[in-house]
Chains A and B, each alone.
Chain A
Amino acid sequence: MKLPQTHYLEISAESGILILTINNPPNNYLSAEFFKDLHNCRELLLSPEVIVVIFTGKGKVFSKGVDIQGVSAQPNALDHSMVKFANQSFTFLSRLEKPVIAAINGPCFGGGLELALACHIRLCSEKARLGLPELSIGLIPGLGGIQRLIRVVGEGKALEMILLGDMISASRALDLNLVSRVFPKKDFFSKALIFVRTLISARKEAIEEVLKLAVLSRDANEEDNIIKAAESFTQLISNTGTQI
């Protein structure tokens, strides 16, 4: 299996399990370079040798999303074409016909949670907190977070989380069905791997069929609505001077 050269995504693969580690510690902010790295992984993600994909974060944080302070310093780093590009990558992940798992090893906010929401299943460390705090800085989730969170937890709870900028605990996320399992922090990743290996022990063709059908069951307008949210996000970021 040929692995692409990336820096902001650390890649490892073994026995069909592809592990993509967000590598921008300590906060694992998602930068334009991260999205280019993710784009460069497309061929690998589609490879028949990859049976399952796991996203996790380097160190103690899954990802705290986009570095808004960095964006304020370099406004062009997050222009509309970049946001569109990032959204295409997340949508690509959400439509893969192999399981894509978010192993949420620590704090997971903003774009980090939007990445996790683009995955099929989310596993969470007991100490992690999750949230979409964009409204607190005058923005909105622009990477599909609104649409996917509504799909995953229902409109009422999703709007509560987004409008209040809630930071929910792992146990609360489990109650809301935002995550599927919560594992102890100490051996989080090994527990996550056991879960993943069990998941892929089913017949490959059957897994693919379920994931294809899952995509079909989504709102037909979901992708259009995600694009509209991205447009609103870039308008808000360019029309207002966001204070951090």
Chain B
Amino acid sequence: MKRQLTGEEKKAISEEIREFLAEEFEIDPSEITNDTNIVDDLGGDSILFMEMIEEFKEKYDIDLEVRTIGMYMLKNPIYTVGETLNAVYEIIEKGEDLIEEIGEGESTVVQ
């Protein structure tokens, strides 16, 4: 079901993501900007994004399987915090509509 996040909701999500990353990498949230690269600057990996979505699933009523999030990431590679925020907004806003958009069932991971 589609929903539209308000500016305030986006701000709250942005703060939560910065706090999540700050706790994960033991740094001050103020050190994290939209341009911070999660892999190169923080030492994170692709699994971290999926862990983060799992953390927010209940709170933001995200009714998607990890597999769908993984496929989304294959189609929309995420490197920076800014890209992460946009991806989280899109995932929350599109919800189950994302499944059709991604085209679940397509084999996109194996050549």
Contacts and interface: CB of A to CB of B under 8 A. Distances in A.
Given A138-B110, A243-B109, A243-B111, A165 B45 contact: no
Contacts of B22: none
A165 B70 contact: yes
B50 interface: yes
B3 to A, nearest CB: 24
A167 interface: yes
Given A133-B66, A167-B54, A64 B47 contact: yes
**Interface range on chain B: under 10, 10 to 19, 20 to 34, or 35 or more?**
10 to 19
Main secondary structure of the interface of B (DSSP, over half): helix
A232 interface: no
Interface of A: 26-27, 60, 64, 107, 109, 129, 131, 133, 135-138, 164-167, 169, 240-244
Interface string B9-41: 000000000000000100000000000000000
B54 A165 contact: no
B65 interface: yes
Contacts of B54: 129, 167, 169
A28 to B, nearest CB: 12
A136 B49 CA distance: 14
B75 interface: no
Nearest to A25: B43
B67 interface: yes
A241 B67 contact: no
B51 interface: yes
B46 interface: yes
Nearest to A169: B54
Contacts of A169: 54
A109 B111 CA distance: 24
B109 A164 contact: no
Given A27-B45, A243-B74, 13 more contacts: A60-B24, A64-B47, A131-B66, A135-B67, A136-B66, A138-B107, A138-B110, A164-B65, A164-B67, A167-B54, A241-B111, A242-B109, A243-B111
A47 B73 CA distance: 47
Contacts of A165: 66-67, 70
Contacts of A131: 66
Contacts of B50: 133, 167
Given A60-B24, A165-B66, A167-B54, A107 B47 contact: yes
Contacts of B43: 26
Contact of A166 (B66, B74, B110): B66
A136 B51 contact: no
B70 A167 contact: no
A107 B51 contact: yes
Given A60-B24, A167-B54, A137 B109 contact: yes
A167 B66 contact: yes
Most-contacted residue by chain A among B45, B47, B54, B67 (CB, 10 A): B47
